[in-house]
């Protein structure tokens, strides 16, 4: 089995080389993102491993299938960047559904704490030997109301953390989990009541621009919004308007709607052409990190282990438990092995 890793970084190699070597899999790591231009690099490989900002559209899928690629391995949870319909009966698409929910939730908390207490501004100020604390007055989180959108494993980890620091938690999910002891409310009520909102849902046609001008207008004045999910869940232009009007009191973002052109790269010597990105970075109450919420040793180890497990299951002709099934109505939670196998 030969596997090519697109969009790879040094931290990807640490665990993947180890796990793949144990199984005798040959690995090649390239820095290029997968797209219609770079797909030619996959010739001669049976599997490709990609990340959040690679583009596996229908044309790319068709080219890969023509090369004889049988597996597309996503080393992440979301698969909105893959045309799973085009891959149906051509290429098995797998993902890592839960590599470390705590890593994402803890980063979300770090963003919330930093934005609320202005830690990022204090760090910059003291680095310049300016120890003035004027402008750093904030409020307690304890006793405030948090809104959590999406109560999968990451959302559940976030709820546990927020409950632990004394916040009242309201939750919204299209499919509520009746095993959770959390107060589920309609989305509009969450927008209306929450002092801070943390987003942990996947990007789908339904959730795209869920945070928009209309929803922001329903929120409390000075609301803090945290997004460690997918950038396109938030309408950037609407968020900028909310910041300008002071409706939004702070943004903590680990994702950005057009991040594929910028994130994971050193562009410190470049001129950034994205005006909305530059506008976001100009606000003192916005903290932006470069899609790094997953970046813990525990998460990287699980990502490598689960990805290699999918390859092993494919090679043995076994049920691939982390496969993405196009035909299933709820393909994230498909547990019908025969139905999943018959999809390919």
Active site residue 259: yes
Please state, in angstroms and as integers, the Cα–Cα distance from residue 165 to each residue in 118, 144, 148, 237, following that order.
Answer: 18, 10, 15, 32
The β-bridge partners of 323 are: 94
- Position 98 scores a pLDDT of 83
Closest of 155, 80, 156, 153 to residue 324, by C-alpha: 80
Answer whether 122's CB lies under 8 Å from 135's CB. Answer: no
- Position 340 scores a pLDDT of 46
Domain 2-99+296-341 superfamily per CATH: NAD(P)-binding Rossmann-like Domain (3.40.50.720)
Rounded Cα gap, residues 89 and 100, in angstroms: 30
Q: Which residues contact 124 (CB under 8 A, 6 or more apart)?
A: none
pLDDT category of residue 41 using cuts at 50, 70 and 90: very high
- Condensed to tens digits (0 to 9), the pLDDT of residues 112-128 reads 999 999 999 999 999 99
CATH number for the domain whose boundaries are 101-288: 3.40.50.720
Share of the chain above pLDDT 70, in %: 94
**Domain chopping of the chain, boundaries:** 2-99+296-341, 101-288
Rounded Cα gap, residues 39 and 55, in angstroms: 10
Across 33-47, 74-88, 257-271, the highest mean pLDDT is recorded for: 33-47
Please state, in angstroms and as integers, the Cα–Cα distance from residue 162 to each residue in 174, 234, 332, following that order.
Answer: 21, 22, 26
Mean pLDDT (the chain, rounded): 93
Q: Is 209 left (phi over 0), alpha (psi -120 to 50) or beta?
A: left
Answer whether 173's CB lies under 8 Å from 200's CB. Answer: no
Active site residue 214: no
Active site residue 297: no
Provide long-range contacts, Cβ within 8 A and 24+ apart, for 13-16: 14/300, 15/300, 15/301, 15/303, 15/304, 15/305, 16/49, 16/304, 16/307, 16/308
- Condensed to tens digits (0 to 9), the pLDDT of residues 133-174 reads 999 999 999 999 999 999 999 999 999 999 999 999 999 999
Answer whether 230's CB lies under 8 Å from 265's CB. Answer: no
- Position 311 scores a pLDDT of 97
* Per annotation, catalytic residue among 230, 257, 260, 340: 230
CA-angle at 221, arms to 229 and 234, nearest 5°: 25
* Per annotation, catalytic residue among 95, 107, 120, 259: 259
Domains 2-99+296-341 and 101-288 in one fold: yes
Answer whether 2's CB lies under 8 Å from 46's CB. Answer: yes
Quick one: average pLDDT of 20-34?
96
* Per annotation, catalytic residue among 92, 95, 200, 291: 291
Rounded Cα gap, residues 102 and 313, in angstroms: 27
Q: Is the pTM of this model over 0.95?
A: no
- Strand spans (E) along 57-176: 71-74, 92-94, 145-149, 168-172
């Amino acid at each position: 089995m030969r596997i090519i890793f697109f969009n790879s970084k040094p931290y990807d190699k640490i665990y993947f080389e180890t796990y793949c070597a144990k199984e005798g899999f040959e690995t090649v790591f390239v820095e290029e993102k997968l797209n219609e231009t770079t797909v030619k690099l996959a010739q001669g490989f049976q599997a490709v491993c990609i990340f959040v900002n690679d583009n596996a559209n229908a044309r790319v899928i068709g080219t890969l299938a023509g090369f004889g690629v049988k597996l597309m391995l996503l080393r992440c949870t979301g698969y909105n960047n893959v045309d799973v319909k085009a891959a149906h009966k051509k290429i098995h698409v797998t993902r890592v559904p839960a590599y470390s929910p705590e890593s994402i939730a803890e980063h979300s908390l770090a963003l919330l704490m930093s934005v609320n207490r202005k830690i990022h501004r204090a760090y910059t100020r003291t680095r310049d030997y300016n120890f003035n604390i004027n402008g750093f007055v904030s409020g307690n989180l304890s006793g405030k109301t948090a809104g959590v959108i999406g109560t999968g494993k990451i959302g559940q980890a976030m709820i546990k953390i927020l409950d632990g620091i004394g916040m009242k938690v309201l939750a919204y999910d299209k499919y509520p989990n009746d095993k959770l002891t959390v107060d589920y409310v309609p989305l509009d009520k969450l927008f209306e009541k929450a002092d801070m909102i943390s987003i942990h849902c996947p990007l789908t046609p339904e959730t795209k621009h869920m945070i928009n001008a209309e929803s922001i207008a329903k929120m409390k004045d000075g609301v803090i919004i945290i997004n460690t999910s997918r950038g396109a869940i938030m309408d950037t232009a609407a968020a900028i308007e909310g910041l300008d009007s002071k409706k939004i009191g702070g943004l903590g973002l680990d994702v950005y709607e057009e991040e594929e052109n910028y994130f994971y790269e050193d562009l410190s010597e470049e001129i950034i052409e994205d005006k909305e990105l530059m506008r976001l970075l100009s606000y003192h109450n916005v903290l932006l990190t470069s899609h790094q919420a997953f970046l813990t040793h525990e998460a990287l180890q699980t990502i490598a282990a689960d990805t290699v497990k999918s390859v092993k299951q494919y090679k043995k002709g076994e049920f691939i438990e982390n496969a993405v099934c196009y035909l299933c109505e709820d393909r994230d939670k498909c547990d019908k092995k025969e139905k999943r196998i018959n999809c390919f």
